[in-house]
Structure 1
Amino acid sequence: MGFFHNNIRPSVAKLWSGTKSWPSLPLVVLAVGLGMGLFHCFRQLPPLWIPLSLGFMFLALVWKWRPAILVVLAAGAFSWGIWQAELRLAVHWPLAQHLSVEGRIVSIPQLGGREYRFQMAPEHWLKDAPGGARPAILQVHGSLPEVPVVGQRWHLQLRSEALSSLPVSPFADLARQRFWEGIGGVARIENGHLLKPFFWSLGDHIAKARQAVLQATNMALDRESAGFVQALSVGVGNQLPPEIWRIYRDTGTAHLLVISGSHVAVVAGLFGWLLQWLWRRIPWLVMRWPAQTAGVLASIPAAWFYASFAGMQIPGERAAWMITAAAVSWLLGRSHRAWQGLALAGLLIVCFNPGAMVDVGFWLSLGAVAALIAVGYGEGGWRTLLRSQWAVFIALLPLLAVWFGQISLVSPLANMLVIPLVELLAVPVALLGTLLALLDLELLSRVLFRVVALQMDGITLLLRALLEIPYAQLHTGTDRIWAVLAAAFGLSIFFLPSGWPGRSLAFLGLVPLLVPAAGGADFELRDLSAQSGMVLFWQEKQYSGVWTANLWKSGARREAGLALVAVLQKKGLDKVSDWVRTDTSTPLPILAAARQWAPPGARHYLHSSNPLGVCRGEAGHAPPGSVFVNLGKTFQPCMLLWGQGPDLLILGDMDVNTLQRLASTRSSSLQRVQLVLAPDSLAEAERKFLASRMPHAVIHYAGKNPAEVWTWQNGHFRSAAVSSPAYWQARD
């Protein structure tokens, strides 16, 4: 946005008399943010009339006491959140019903196996449409005859499924995110065909252009190299393998593989500069309208067009709003500050999507830009770049620790080395190649795409080398709230003006956060979500382990892997001590199953000649304080007793005969068991037998939601209170 000058011209806007007594924009944003934030603190929707009554009460005081408008805005934001939630709750989605719908793809399709997964915004229901309010967004999956692209319009024949079939995670409230995204239905694709684009539809033309870029890059490069070019140009990174994403994530540079605000600013600035250059070549136009004004005005649609072309992700939308605010302020002759543009962008994003306040990407994007504004990004050379990356690293430390349980200590160095290479070389070349591909200049676009691929390969090698540095990553865990609060306090001191007394003490607040998390002192047992499978995570001091059963389906293994990685990050652990498999058979080869799902540090699986032997009594690898039950069978379902009582019994998938043998050999022990965990696949006969032999024990069947957590305190198991389902969970 170099064409925005700081000179202030006489305003063409006439202000109302007395507007100086109204609250400033930062106070307005703060009031709306507090109101919306207070709303998101509720798990159950409060009555709408309460915030409305409060808002009307203070509205009557506005003309005498202007600050009352802040209370009105906060109450209005609270009411807006309730109303938007009620609209989503009114959606009715039938189960196991055949539907036909025409709609537009609104998310980047992900390819898993032979299925595509993406979100679709229905435009026209053709057959057996659900009654009542219909979903704004559908989450669909299945095979298609052509490669789907964001923005395309498809006619799909679907079979509806339950919302509970979507993955869940203990690390992030995915159900809440999907609720606010408007996802009100899940369906499997039975058939579909691509619809022809409308001539007057801008969205169809954008989708066609995106598809042309994807085809051009896939024809010119291999899958991984094309994935780099697509990520930098159109925001599609689904062709990059997980290993590449892990490298960029662990070095704190994953933001470079998505369309960031700088991408949008570069495109808007280049388009505005080009229009100014052309405008000055036509005297008739210059005499009627200044070239600079035309360039500034043209930057607004350019920013929004490229943000839409890149998938309208939160960083791109935020940048488009900031550019719009700066351009409008300049056109009106008003002074403009970056803080005002950032505040306005955050306000508008939250107003259009109240759920953005519970999206981690929203806070990371705004936090990074706020840190850059605070240190004056762009006003200096390499010293400013170093200072800005250090500021972003410090500003995002508490957020990364809270949400991800780990931080990258090489992030400032990695960003300082890589950002100039990506932003000044790779991105402009990728955008120029994209433009040439759209102009059907195939040879030139291929050359530029190859240059980008070579650049990104070199950058990836550099990041790999940085990850080899000792202590490149630090696992902090997410349970140490006191350390996060200390870091937040230090952060507030760090961003005080230079020369402020005690400013150098800010780093003392970060020390507790940088101390690696240690294992808990008490025994803890967690039931992780794995669809129909059973995955138990236990931890006692420095020991931890995983207990698995019924992971027959690839979806269950995939969800179990995600849940395990999340809980390890949450506890600040790098690996588990033991992995106990309870299954006596598996529908897939053992090595193939291990490649699909294996906890970090798993033992007795890959290199053991008989991996099922870990569940036998003579294995000798039971977790500390526990013992495997041996019923004298060669292949037996796994059973484990823990505690002196024993106090805990964990069962694998078994029949009544096996349970009867267990009761005959351990009848006295079973009477003292406090807690029993078993797979949800046990039939009614097995469940009745367990209830009759252990009437005083709590019997929990894994594989159901919500998952539970048990801790051992004062000789008894304590279950974490499972609260009633929140409003965003009770939709099936």
Structure 2
Amino acid sequence: MRVLALVEAAMLRQRGHLIVWSPICVATGIGLYFSLRFEPDVHVYAQLVSAIFLGAFCSWKLPTAWSPVAIGVALIAFGFLLAGGRAHLVSEPVLKWRYYGPIEGRVVSLDRSASDALRVTLDQVRIEGVPVDERPRRVRISMHGPATNLLPGQRIMTTGHLSAPQGPVEPGGFDFRRHAWFQRLGAVGYTRVPVLTIAPASAANGGVPVTYWRISISNHVQNLLPGEVGGFAAAVTTGDRSGLRSDTLLSLRASNLAHLLAISGLHMGLLTGFVFLACRVGFSAVPAAALRLPVKKLAAVCAMVSATIYFLLSGGNIATERAFVMVLVMFGALLLDRRAISLRAVAVAALIVLAMRPESLLGPGFQMSFAATTALVAVFGALRNQDLVSGPKWLKQFIGLILSSAIAGFATAPIGAAHFNTMSHFGLLANLLSVPVMGAIVVPAAVLSAFLAPVGLEWVALTVMGIGLKWILGVSEWVSGLHGAQGYVMSPPDFVLPALSLSILWVILWQGRARWAGLVPAMAVMTLWGQGTRPDVLVAGNGGLIGVMTENGRALSKSKGNGFVASVWLENDGDGADQKLAAKRWPGEPGLVQRYQTEGLEIVHLTGKRAAQDFNECRPDQIVVSPVALQLSGGCRLYDSEKLENTGSLALSKGRLVTSNEASGRRLWSLGYSGQ
């Protein structure tokens, strides 16, 4: 009874602080939906609706101390329903076979692939021989041939290859099919031939005026600021990264400055903060306005308008959407005479983003942006009334900059390491040298260029902006070139990030000394991450590559081909080697038939048609992998191109073989694909 009384007292102490737990409960329900290996049927959803009503009823009937528990259960059920409803809402046809032929559609967006190829996303697609009701709503094509002056709204035609989005490159890995499902991408592919324009692009043509103006502004900025500086400026102002080379992106990531590319909380905060300050000072300078009008609230409205325009021009990705919602909540609180920056505001912003795009919970953009924001608000909220250092104002601001960079870096480091398998060892230094330039030069110059554009003088402000961006690129190149600038981290088990996040959130949000109990599971989870292991053998989904774990790291069966798969495997291992170096680790002589012994099994990789035609072994202790269809008699386990089409990629750990499709389960985004 005493324990129960202590628990009730602890629950009562949380009153007034419970709203911050709402997005956590909703996120838990969303996470449960995506963690399933089967697609829930209508009976499951009916039970969840009942759980919501039951939770609401119990919260009314239960004692005050326990009613939040019932509300939490209802919110978890609501999160599950939210994710399931969204998954069904975005359902679109998926191409069910490999296609080669004419492709026609309207350009809706442009970006670049990891190999620097221009990628174009089309809607209103026409594909020869595919009925209208089976055509993908959107397709994405990589341009390996000549493709210039493409603009949203332009209708184009080309001849290329298309196929359904592929599954994970290893069992349990990132599932591109799920990502494509929520983007309504029904096919991806490439073309090597020229692109023909059927209808020109214009602001009115095709119904994508905002995107048209966005890319037009991006092109104009890059014409005034050529090279990587122009590409950086376009990314900062419009979110268009197509003007940046892959080596520049790698340099920014290695120096922990890639967040300056994403239009997120930093950019939105600097922009709206500058507009708010400028408008407030401007209104206050006019006596009639200062005496008769609510200057502070008018400045807040101006900041909200500028945030809306910036959001529309940015392309509206997850990070920008989160930042936009956060800004609206912050200035909305100011209009209502409430505290603008608080954990409640962060919670409201998280709820709005999750309600709009529940799938964003799984992405690094949502996780890193809310982790940084929550940590900054919590720490600076706790230090609000404390003077950390005595001295001049500039010194306090400098200390604040160091502290904020350290807090944000510490909060996002585990998430970045889990998703990207890298850690920047000198990221704090790079941010201290770059973020002040971003706030004092780049963002004000970008705002000024918008005001000067109507009179044709935007080049003046953009020139100043270019100086700041050139400095940031120089810092990125210098820091990324330092010895040991980048470390590599093995991918964690699936439970690590959710468990670590909940543990840290408990420490931040729980009221009372029991909050420190959250450090115990956090440390335990980090220990388990460090002691994790990787599969002994990995097999690509097309049978074209095998990777085996050796004492020197993963060895690959080929030095060329399947480059994307090879890079992902090595990244997930926390291995900084490239494919050529990993191929040199193979324990045996190179040849058309590669063999590897493990756990009493022989893995045989046939690397081409000739090797497949000449191979005639098939023993019970063999696993034979072939990228072409093969007929063998005997007791071996054969995984040729036809069988791999049904299984997806393979992983062998301690003698247990797991297929990608087994690990992913039968979900909406996999049921419509070939091989399911």
Could you state the TM-score of these two structures normalised by the residue count of structure 2?
0.78
Is 2:27 the counterpart of 1:36? no
In structure 1, distance between residues paired with 2:313 and 2:519: 42
Residue 536 of structure 2 aligns with which residue?
524
Is residue 608 of structure 2 the alignment partner of residue 653 of structure 1?
yes
Matches within 5 A, 1:689-728: 691-692=632-633, 695-701=634-640, 704=645, 706-711=648-653, 713=654, 717-720=655-658, 722=660, 723=662, 724-728=665-669
1:128 CA drift (Å): 9.3
- Distance in 2 (alpha carbons) for counterparts of 1:329 and 1:644: 62
Cα 1:108/1:338, change in 2 over 3 Å: farther
Corresponding residue of 2:490? 477
Secondary structure at 2:240 match in 1: coil
Which digits, 9 at most, give the CA deviation of each residue in 1:271-297, with x for residues without a partner?
Answer: 334444555577776677423222212
Please tell me whether residue 25 in structure 1 is matched to residue 25 in structure 2. Answer: no
Kindly report which structure 2 residues correspond to 1:118-517, keeping only aligned pairs within 5 A, or say none: 118-120=120-122, 122=124, 131-132=132-133, 137-142=138-143, 146-149=148-151, 152-157=152-157, 162-164=162-164, 169-170=169-170, 171-186=173-188, 191-198=197-204, 204=209, 207-208=212-213, 210-221=215-226, 223-277=227-281, 279=283, 289-376=293-380, 380-433=396-449, 435-437=451-453, 439-441=455-457, 444-445=460-461, 447-465=463-481, 467-468=482-483, 470=484, 472-479=485-492, 491=504
| Cα distance per residue 1:663-707 (max 9 Å; x no partner) | 5xxxxxx4646224343225xxxx23xx22xx1111122674610
Aligned to 2:570: 568
Offset of residue 159 of structure 1: 6.8
**CA, structure 1 residues 374+137, in 2 after alignment: closer, same or farther (shift >3 Å)?**
farther
Q: Output one character per residue of 1:105-145: Cα deviation in whole Å (capped at 9) or x when no partner.
A: 2x4422799963133455x9899995448755432444787
Larger CA deviation: 232-241 vs 249-258:
232-241
Q: Point out where structure 2 has 5 or more consecutive residues left out of the alignment.
A: 1-13, 61-66, 385-395
C-alpha separation in 1, matches of 2:94 and 2:509: 51
Matches of 2:501 and 2:352, distance apart in 1? 26
2: CA distance, partners of 1:33 / 1:304 = 26
- Can you list the C-alpha shifts for 1:379-433, whole angstroms capped at 9, x where unaligned? 7522232222222233223323332333223223332333223333333334434
Instruction: Supply the AA of the counterpart residue of 1:406.
Output: T
What is the aligned counterpart of 1:52 among 19, 29, 46? 46
Q: Which amino acid aligns with 1:59?
A: F
Matched residue type, 1:367 = A
C-alpha deviations, 1:534-589, integer Å up to 9, x for none? 1111113335311139x6xxxxx4xx22222221222222337xxxxxxxxxxxxx
- Aligned-partner SS, 2:558: strand
Q: Distance in 2 between matches of 1:483 and 1:113?
A: 30
Question: Secondary structure at the residue paired with 2:79?
Answer: helix
Give distance in 1, aligned partners of 2:27 and 2:600: 52
Q: 1:247 to 1:638 in 2, by over 3 A?
A: same
Structure 1 position 526, deviation (Å): 0.8
> Counterpart of 2:174 in 1: which secondary structure?
coil
- For 2:335 and 2:267, the matched residues in 1 are separated by 23
> In 2, Cα distance between the equivalents of 1:250 and 1:80?
36
Alpha-carbon separation, structure 2, partners of 1:658 and 1:200? 52
**Aligned with 1:548: secondary structure?**
coil
Shift of 1:499: 12
Contact 1:525 / 1:539 at 8 angstroms: preserved in 2? yes
The one of 680, 684, 698 equivalent to 2:627 is 680
In 2, Cα distance between the equivalents of 1:296 and 1:481?
Answer: 42
- Rate the CA distance shift 1:534–1:29 in 2: closer, same or farther, 3 A: same
C-alpha separation between the residues in 1 aligned to 2:274 and 2:224? 28
Other-structure match for 1:547: 557
Give CA-to-partner distance per residue, 1:609-637, whole Å, 9 cap, x none: xxxxxxxxxxxxx944x567xxxxxxx74
1:534 to 533, 544, 550: 544
Tell me the CA shift for residue 94 of structure 1. Answer: 7.4
The aligned runs of 1:61-100 (5 Å cut-off) are 62=56, 65-66=59-60, 67=67, 68-89=70-91, 91=93, 93=95, 96=99
- Seen in structure 2, the aligned counterparts of structure 1 residues 701 and 548 have a Cα distance that, compared at 3 Å, is farther
CA spacing shift, 1:120–1:325, aligned 2, 3 Å: farther
Between the two proteins, the alignment pairs up a number of residues equal to 625
Q: Deviations over 1:312-364 (max 9, x none)?
A: 12222112111211222232334454212221222111211121112122101
Change (3 A) 1:395 1:498: farther
Give the distance between the partners of 1:623 and 1:209, measured in 2 at CA: 49
- Deviation string for 1:8-43 (max 9, x for gaps)? xxxxxxxxxxxx999953243233222222212223
Contact 1:641–1:649 (Cα < 8 Å) also in 2: yes
1:260, 1:480 → 2: CA distance?
A: 28
Name the aligned partner's letter for residue 409 of structure 2. F
Moved more, 359-368 or 370-379: 370-379
Deviation at 1:256, TM superposition (A): 1.4
Percentage identity across paired residues of the two chains = 17
| CA displacement, residues 55-107 of structure 1 (integer Å, 9 cap, x when unaligned) | 246526746733455444433332232222223345365765867554x62x4
SS of residue paired to 1:65? helix
Deviation at 1:46, TM superposition (A): 0.7
> Distance in 2 between the 1:127 and 1:273 partners?
56
- Name the SS for the 1:43 alignment partner: coil
For the residue of structure 2 that corresponds to 1:184, the secondary structure is: strand
Distance 1:513 1:707 in 2: 28
AA in 2 matched with 1:197: A
Flag the 1:113–1:30 CA change in 2: closer, same or farther, 3 A. Answer: closer
Query: Which has the larger Rg?
Result: 1
Over 3 Å counting, the alpha-carbon distance change for 1:710 and 1:59 in structure 2 is closer
